[in-house]
Amino acid sequence: MAKILMVQPSKCASCRNCELACSFAHEGVFNPNKSRVHALVWERLGLGVPLMCMHCDDAPCVEVCMTGALHRDEEANGVLWDKDKCIGCKLCISACPFGNASYDSETKSVIKCDLCGGDPECVKFCPNEAIEYKEADKGMLTKKAMYAEKFKKIFEEVE
């Protein structure tokens, strides 16, 4: 079974090592603004939620992409971006329901998680195991549903 990225906000220590590791791996600098993952922090609650591209099976960014630059890659079990095919229309950014894609106008690149070729840096550097890259068995999906419920509550509160 293919691996997927899983986030567990209740474990997130809000340290943002994921952002640092991601920006360094992709950009060679430390800059959370250019990270593919963000640990969003509710300061009053002391709560962090790491979010990155969820690599949707039925991905709106892939749907909207006219050139096939954004495509589903079966081997990686994820949504990948092909720079050569990209025309920079940025529709993918509007299409993503989570805000998990952005655009770097300096390098003319879509900034989006690429799973680091199967060995995600954010996972390696998370000290609290809040981000994991694991096979999605049934047990995990149950867990996921549990956390989705928490997300739902939190977002309701915030909105």
Partner 1 sequence: MMSSYQNKILRVNLTNGTASMEPLNTKYAKDFIGGRGLGTKMYCEEVGPNVDPLSPDNNMYLVTGPLTGTMAPSAGRYMVITRGPLTGTIACSNSGGYFGSEMKYAGYDVVVIEGKAEKPVYIWINNDKVEIRPADHIWGKEVPDTTDLLKEETDEMAKVACIGPGGENLSKIACIMNEMNRAAGRTGVGAVMGSKNLKGIVVRGTNPVHVPDGEKFMAAIQEARKALLEHPVTGTGLATYGTQILINILDQSGGLPVRNFRDSGTVEWADKTSGEFMIEHKNLVRNKGCFSCVMRCGRVTRTFKPYAGFGEGPEYEAGWGFGADCGVKDIDAICQANFRCNELGLDAISMPCTIACAMELYENGYLPNEDAGCDLRFGNASILADLVTKTAYREDIGDILAEGSYRLAEKYGHPELSMSVKKQELPAYEPRTLQGMGLNYATNNRGGCHVRGYMTAPEILGIPVKLDPAVTEGKAGVCKAFQDLTGAVDASGFCLFTTFAIGADIIANVVSAATGIEYSPDELLKAGERIWNLERLFNMACGFTSKDDTLPQRLLQEPQKNGSYKGSVNRLHEMLPEYYQLRGWDQAGVPTKDKMVELGLEDAFAQMLGAVEAASAKNN
Nearer to partner 1, 129 or 135 (CB): 129
**CB 107, min distance to partner 1, A:** 12
Q: Is 13 in the site for partner 1 (CB under 8 A)?
A: yes
Nearer to partner 1, 10 or 67 (CB): 10
Q: Report the first-to-last Cα separation within the chain, whole angstroms.
A: 37
Q: Is 103 in the site for partner 1 (CB under 8 A)?
A: no
Nearer to partner 1, 62 or 131 (CB): 131
C-alpha to C-alpha distance for 119 and 7, rounded to whole angstroms? 15
Q: Give the residue from 44, 74, 40 showing the smallest Cα distance to 57.
A: 74
Applying CB under 8 A, the site for partner 1 has a residue count of 29
**CB 31, min distance to partner 1, A:** 4
Q: Is 52 helix (H, G, I), strand (E, B) or coil?
A: coil
Stretch near partner 1 under the rule CB under 8 A, chosen from 41-49, 55-63, 79-87, 131-139: 41-49
Q: Give the residue from 38, 73, 49, 55 showing the smallest Cα distance to 4.
A: 55
CB contact burial 102-136 (16+ within 10 A = b; e otherwise)? bbeeeeebbbbbbbbeeebbbbebbeeebbbbeee
Q: Is 138 in the site for partner 1 (CB under 8 A)?
A: no
Q: Which stretches of the chain bind partner 1, using CB under 8 A? A: 10-11, 13-17, 20-21, 23-24, 27-34, 41, 43-48, 125, 127-128
